[in-house]
C-alpha cells in the first residue's frame, strides 16, 4: 500500500472544524469485546463479536483569537 500524507485533511467534531488547531494524531485504536455463546452440545468454544470501542489521541492547540469558546465545549464531550 502506498504511503500518503495528511496534508489537506480536516477534523470535524460536533460539526465544528477544529483542523487548524490540531498538530498531530498520536494514536488511533479500536477493539471489540468477545461474547462466549457456546452451548452444551458444542465441543469447542463459539464466540460472537460484542460491543466495539475506539479512541483517537491527538495534540491540539487553542488559539483564542480565531476560535469561539463553544469549540472547546464541543471538543470536551
User: What is the percentage of the chain residues whose pLDDT exceeds 70?
Assistant: 79
Q: For residues 23 and 9, is the Cβ–Cβ distance under 8 A?
A: no
Q: Indicate whether this model's pTM tops 0.85.
A: no
Q: Is 21 helix (H, G, I), strand (E, B) or coil?
A: helix
Look-up of cell digits 496534508: 7
pLDDT per position as a tens digit, 51-71: 999 998 888 777 677 655 555
Confidence of residue 9 (pLDDT cuts 50, 70, 90): confident
Average pLDDT for 13-20: 75
Confidence of residue 50 (pLDDT cuts 50, 70, 90): very high
Look-up of cell digits 460472537: 48
Amino acid at each position: 500500500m502506498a504511503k500518503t500524507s495528511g496534508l489537506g485533511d480536516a477534523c470535524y467534531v460536533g460539526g465544528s472544524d477544529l483542523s487548524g488547531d490540531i498538530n498531530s494524531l498520536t494514536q488511533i485504536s479500536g477493539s471489540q469485546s468477545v461474547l462466549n455463546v457456546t452451548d452444551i452440545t458444542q465441543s469447542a468454544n463459539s464466540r460472537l463479536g460484542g460491543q466495539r470501542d475506539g479512541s483517537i489521541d491527538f495534540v491540539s492547540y487553542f488559539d483564542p483569537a480565531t476560535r469561539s469558546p463553544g469549540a472547546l465545549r464541543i471538543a470536551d464531550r
